[in-house]
Amino acid sequence: MFAKISRFILAVATAAAILPGTVFGGELTGTWERGNGKARIRFEPCGAELCAVIAWIRPDVKKGKVGQTVFRKLKRTGDNSWTGEAFNPEDGRTYKGSVDLRDGKLHTKGCALAGLICKSDTWTQVN
């Protein structure tokens, strides 16, 4: 019995190690591509919080650069949701941002004017 449990734990740990682009326990990992295919972002720890940086950007895109932080100060607000700040390289402004994982997709939103004006995007995991 103990051997079966040990093998199961080892299998889960191995899967977690070799599949870094998956969502385990509502955690953001891996690289995500924007719905329009213009950019990819990667989530990473920033101290006690979570950030997302541009991992790739299509060559014809004029604004933004690889390594630029586009989400910062993300704090968990639910099982699959975080809020913080969203930086838009297209206009150079920072907005109140939210990130949600639903149905295998990443949904992001940035809002201004106390939520009266918002822009949303859907991202697909690429690794």
Q: Return the DSSP state at 29.
A: -
Q: Could you tell me the CA-to-CA distances from 94 to 16, 27, 70, 89, 109 in Å, in that order?
A: 34, 24, 9, 9, 12
Q: Distance between CA 35 and CA 120 in Å, rounded?
A: 10
Measured between alpha carbons, how far apart are the two ends of the chain, in Å?
35
The pLDDT tens digits of the residues spanning 60-72 come to 988 889 999 999 9
Count up the domains in the chain and report the number: 1
> pTM of the predicted model, to two decimals?
0.73
Q: Distance between CA 115 and CA 86 in Å, rounded?
A: 13
Contact assessment for residue 108 and residue 86, using Cβ atoms and an 8 Å cutoff:
yes
Residue 99 pLDDT > 70:
yes
The pLDDT tens digits of the residues spanning 20-71 come to 333 434 568 789 999 999 999 999 988 889 999 999 999 998 888 999 999 9
Domain with 71 in it: what CATH number?
Answer: 2.40.128.520
Residue 16 pLDDT > 70:
no
Look up the domain containing 8 and give its range. 2-125
The pLDDT of residue 48: 87
